[in-house]
Structure 1
Amino acid sequence: MKHPYSAAPDRDEKPALPCQTRHPELWFTDDPVDIARAKTLCRACVMRKECLAGAMSRQEEVGIWGGEIFWHGEVVAVRPRRGRPPRHAAASGRTLHAV
């Protein structure tokens, strides 16, 4: 047992991981501000590399893992927004219209 006034940590004591000390939804959010916050917390985590490697091997569908954004099992730079994708011009130059 660790003495309350001891400066040295116990060997059995594990570091507090950001994903275990903060609300879990922070790592599965749509909000760009929260995504940036989660990524920042992950970058300072001692388990970052292991977390990222584990997520890649499990092919995680979504979330922030090891400081990276997973979307449909792939690491992406930016998480796509919810809802319909924006309309794009067709190859002929005409705008697509909703039916």
Structure 2
Amino acid sequence: MREMFYEMVGDPEKDKELLEAASPLFHVDKIKVPLFIAQGANDPRVPKAESDQMVEALKARGIEVPYMVKDNEGHGFANEENRFDFYRAMEEFLGEHLGGRVEE
């Protein structure tokens, strides 16, 4: 299983340079504007710890980073209530940072 995963995304030892080049965490210094991050706590593809690292790195640089975590979600929000929470938060974030109208 591990070999199949490494074949798909890269081997952490052999492909370290390639993986770092593709990792947002290694490019956090290039982010200059607020970033909204949403995470399912049970995501099998993107562990919550990775989003936590990204949020911490951005905050350490003074970047505004609203962070939404839904405990009962995986990769993507399947629960309708969570999707509405996400859409509402994203609409407010975009309205604040891009301008425009946000419905009450």
Q: Normalising by the residue count of structure 2, what TM-score does the alignment of the two structures yield?
A: 0.28
More helix by share: 2
Instruction: Give the structure-1-normalised TM-score.
Output: 0.29
